[in-house]
Amino acid sequence: MPITVKNLSYTYMKGTPYERAALKNVSLEVEDGVFLGIIGATGSGKSTFIKHLNGLIKLTEGNGGIVVDGIDLTAKKPDLKLVRQKIGMVFQYPESQLFAETVLDDVCYGPRNMKKSREECEALAKEAMTLAGLDFENFKGRSPFELSGGEKRRAAIAGVIACRPEYLILDEPSAGLDPKGKDDIYALIGRIRAVDKVTVVVVSHDVDEICEYADRIAAFDKGEIFAEFDAEDIGEYGRVLREKGLGIPLTARVAEELKRRGIEADFKVREKDFTESVLRYYAAKRAVKKEGGGL
């Protein structure tokens, strides 16, 4: 079942001089199996939004409603443990949550909290580490503190997916990594989706990156969602996105520029698809030319 958010509002430090409205009347539906990207400038409320989804920030009355997989978070005492089991949450810089002596121990922390047996924990950890691209035998005994930046982050993500969540929410999962590290993270997300049909929400301010992987996109600005669309259609939102300081991916910009010069076709947004659609366009054009020449 989907995650449904209706008219959500939230203000930090209400009633003090530091008061700050972080979310204003946000509504959004995350459908099953979708890869949703949330984009927005820094401070637009993205992190605040996702913290609401697993009850880390409590809903106050009259500030909207959230239903996760049929569990109403506005209820008096929602089963937060169950919600947190369903939603795997990877926070910004998740490597800062690593604490155990070995990677295996750390990855087992979640399953252990869910009262799984020792064997079950290890089996789940093995599966999670393999999905995260960390060779189980090689990494299980190593200290999480001696890994490289990218490995640390993948170990931390493994710790979250070891709980077998049905939804995986990641806050800026690629921030501060090198290009190879970024690719590794998205490859990992791809593997999880393929194996478990997990619904994925990724928060990022990098529009290029998000469009490369996400199906649908919700764009935040000053605590509000100002646009929601299929990633493929992002070209149509160029103007508003630029106004909000976000911009559109390189491929969409190239398509825009081509259009301005009279070259119009169904150019795709994802890099590989884009290249192909361009090649297809020129192949078709050449074919037309050849035919024309033959006459």
Ligand X SMILES: Nc1ncnc2c1ncn2[C@@H]1O[C@H](COP(=O)(O)OP(=O)(O)O)[C@@H](O)[C@H]1O
Binding mask 45-64 for Mg ion (x = CB under 5 A): --x-----------------
In 48-207, the DSSP E strands lie at 65-68, 71-72, 87-90, 167-171, 199-204
* 98 binds other proteins, rule: CB under 8 A: yes
Interface residue with other proteins among 21, 34, 71, 114 (CB under 8 A) is 114
Interface residue with other proteins among 37, 45, 64, 110 (CB under 8 A) is 110
Among ligand X, other proteins, Mg ion, none, the one that 84 touches (CB under a kind-dependent 5 to 8 A) is: other proteins
* 27 binds other proteins, rule: CB under 8 A: no
Structure-block tokens of residue 80:
């937060």
* 12 binds other proteins, rule: CB under 8 A: yes
Q: Which of the stretches 44-52, 219-227, 248-256, 285-293 binds Mg ion when contact is defined by CB under 5 A? A: 44-52
Q: Which of the stretches 37-45, 144-152, 193-201, 243-251 binds ligand X when contact is defined by CB under 6 A? A: 37-45
Quote the least distance from Cβ 94 to ligand X, whole Å.
15
State how beta strands 35-40 and 199-204 pair: parallel
- Residues 6 or more apart whose CB falls under 8 angstroms from that of 234 comprise 207, 211, 217, 241, 248, 249, 252, 269
Quote the least distance from Cβ 258 to ligand X, whole Å.
32
136-155 binders of other proteins (CB under 8 A): 145
* 13 binds ligand X, rule: CB under 6 A: yes
C-alpha dihedral sign at 238, 241, 245, 249: negative
Cα distances (Å, whole numbers) of residue 225 to 26, 110, 241:
6, 32, 12
Distance CA 129, CA 275 (A): 34
* 159 binds other proteins, rule: CB under 8 A: yes
Among other proteins, ligand X, Mg ion, none, the one that 24 touches (CB under a kind-dependent 5 to 8 A) is: none
DSSP 100: S
Nearer to Mg ion, 47 or 54 (CB): 47
Distance CA 169, CA 90 (A): 6
- Residues 6 or more apart whose CB falls under 8 angstroms from that of 26 comprise 5, 7, 8, 9, 45, 49, 64, 223, 224, 225
CA 114 to chain centre: 24
Tell me the residue type at 103: V
Q: Which of the stretches 157-165, 173-181, 255-263, 274-282 binds other proteins when contact is defined by CB under 8 A? A: 157-165
State how beta strands 35-40 and 65-68 pair: unpaired
Binding site for ligand X (CB under 6 A): 12-13, 20, 22, 40, 42-48
Binding site for other proteins (CB under 8 A): 12-13, 16-18, 51, 54, 56, 81, 84-85, 87-89, 91-92, 94, 96-100, 109-110, 113-114, 145, 159-160, 163
